[in-house]
């Protein structure tokens, strides 16, 4: 199943090239097609006005649709997909389990709690960035709680971390339900929460791009810096330590970067499921477990996958929109099962 024509490294570059083409294609469709038909030339004129130097004029209504509605939506979708897939790849590596998801230590439920909190108490109504900021805070706070619980004498066993994460996830999910039940009478708040929980990038603007960007940059930088450590951690902590990994530092760095990435993504898109689980799993099957290749490839794959899924979300039931989280789950879950069954039989034959 692994891509290796012309060597493993060459296979990686082919994969990245193909992913870039897919991402650009999907992004192009996202920019050029939409509910309001706009001439291709006009779209190009708008893009040129914003991206190329020099003064140009464009029809203001077209400019608004292309540059303020379609473009940030595509960019946010790509960023969210990339962040979730990258964080998922990190968690699968850290827990040595291909079924781990970005939120396994409670970070995405924590982010949801933060956002739901902001929405139920009306903070989001008075301040646009309240929900995203509370979401990021919720994600980081969840990780802080889980690591505090799991750490003894400066040592954090991943199994304890995992169990603490499961417990916190359950607790926070119950808390979220309670908050939502409380807000039932306030129709507007309940509707916003429900929309948010189902995930999506509808009506996201450049302010949301700015919201994900810092977390994405920090999270990616940390992820790349500690990528090699994850390769060694796959072999168990004892082996990793004997080969020179400062395991507690590496684990902490991986956890925090994944929490920052997950928190930032969930903050602007709500809960977009299955991307962080399916994408890294698929990329590992194709490119192997070396994280220096796996992490960037997962990021790119997550990006085109979510941009593509958002295209489906927009067009499947047009003019109505399907929720993005629903689309990713509908595409992701069966595909994941297919991989699982296929891979299992492959393993069975090779033994």
Closest distance to another protein from the beta carbon of 231 (Å): 6
> If binding is defined by CB under 8 A, does position 241 make contact with another protein?
yes
Q: Which of residues 34 and 93 has its CB atom nearest to another protein in the complex?
A: 93
CA pair distance 165, 105, nearest whole angstrom: 4
> If binding is defined by CB under 8 A, does position 349 make contact with another protein?
no
If you ran DSSP here, which 8-state letter would residue 155 be given? Answer: B
Dihedral over alpha carbons 134, 140, 142, 145 (to 10 degrees): -130
> If binding is defined by CB under 8 A, does position 50 make contact with another protein?
no
> If binding is defined by CB under 8 A, does position 297 make contact with another protein?
no
> If binding is defined by CB under 8 A, does position 346 make contact with another protein?
no
> If binding is defined by CB under 8 A, does position 292 make contact with another protein?
yes
CA pair distance 336, 315, nearest whole angstrom: 23
| DSSP-H helix ranges across the chain | 8-32, 40-51, 60-63, 71-94, 107-120, 123-126, 130-150, 158-182, 187-198, 206-225, 227-233, 237-242, 247-269, 275-287, 291-315, 324-350
The span of 43-51, 61-69, 198-206, 231-239 binding another protein (CB under 8 A) equals: 231-239
The span of 163-171, 186-194, 234-242, 326-334 binding another protein (CB under 8 A) equals: 234-242
Q: What single string gives the DSSP state of each residue in 57-93?
A: ---HHHHIIIIIIIHHHHHHHHHHHHHHHHHHHHHHH
Contact with another protein (CB under 8 A) among 238, 319, 320, 348: 238
> If binding is defined by CB under 8 A, does position 8 make contact with another protein?
yes
CA pair distance 61, 30, nearest whole angstrom: 17
Task: Report how far apart, in Å, the C-alpha atoms of 92 and of each of 44, 98, 252, 277 are.
Answer: 41, 5, 15, 8
> If binding is defined by CB under 8 A, does position 245 make contact with another protein?
yes
Question: How open is the CA angle 75-78-84, to the nearest 5 degrees?
Answer: 135
> If binding is defined by CB under 8 A, does position 342 make contact with another protein?
no
> If binding is defined by CB under 8 A, does position 244 make contact with another protein?
yes
Binding-site residue total for another protein (CB under 8 A)? 25
The span of 48-56, 80-88, 270-278, 285-293 binding another protein (CB under 8 A) equals: 285-293
> If binding is defined by CB under 8 A, does position 344 make contact with another protein?
no
Contact pattern from residue 81 through residue 110 relative to another protein, giving x for each residue in contact according to CB under 8 A and a dash for the rest: ---------------x--------------
Count other Cβ atoms within 10 Å, centred on residue 288.
17
> If binding is defined by CB under 8 A, does position 239 make contact with another protein?
yes
Q: Which parts of this chain interact with another protein (CB under 8 A)?
A: 2, 8, 96, 224-225, 228, 231-232, 234-236, 238-239, 241-246, 284, 288-290, 292, 350
């Amino acid at each position: 199943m692994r891509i290796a024509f012309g060597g493993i490294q060459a296979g990686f570059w082919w994969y990245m090239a193909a992913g870039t083409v897919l991402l650009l294609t999907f992004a192009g469709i996202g920019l050029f097609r939409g509910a309001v038909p706009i001439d291709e030339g006009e779209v190009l004129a708008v893009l040129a006005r914003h991206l190329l130097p020099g003064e140009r004029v464009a029809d203001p209504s077209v400019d608004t649709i292309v540059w303020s509605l379609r473009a940030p939506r595509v960019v946010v979708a790509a960023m969210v997909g990339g962040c979730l897939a990258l964080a998922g790849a990190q968690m699968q590596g850290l827990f040595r389990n291909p079924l781990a998801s970005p939120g396994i230590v409670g970070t995405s439920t924590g982010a949801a709690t933060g956002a739901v909190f902001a929405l139920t108490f009306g903070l989001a109504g008075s301040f646009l960035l309240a929900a995203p900021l509370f979401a990021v805070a919720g994600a980081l706070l969840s990780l802080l709680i889980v690591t505090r619980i799991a750490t003894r004498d400066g040592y954090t066993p991943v199994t304890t971390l995992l169990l603490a994460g499961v417990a916190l996830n359950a607790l926070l999910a119950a808390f979220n339900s309670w908050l939502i039940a409380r807000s039932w009478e306030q129709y507007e708040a309940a509707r916003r929460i429900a929309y948010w929980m189902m995930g999506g990038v509808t009506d996201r603007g450049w302010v949301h791009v700015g919201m994900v960007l810092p977390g994405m940059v920090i999270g990616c930088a940390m992820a790349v810096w500690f990528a090699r450590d994850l390769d060694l951690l796959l072999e168990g902590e004892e082996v990793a330590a004997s080969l020179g990994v400062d395991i507690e530092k590496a684990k902490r760095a991986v956890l925090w970067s994944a929490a920052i990435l997950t928190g930032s993504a969930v903050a602007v898109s709500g809960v977009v499921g299955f991307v962080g689980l399916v994408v890294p799993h698929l990329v590992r099957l194709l490119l192997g477990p070396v994280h220096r290749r796996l992490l960037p490839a997962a990021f790119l794959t997550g990006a085109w996958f979510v941009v593509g899924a958002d295209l489906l979300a927009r067009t499947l039931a047009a003019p109505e929109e399907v929720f993005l989280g629903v689309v990713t789950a509908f595409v992701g879950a069966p595909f994941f099962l297919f991989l699982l069954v296929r891979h299992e039989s492959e393993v069975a034959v090779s033994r």
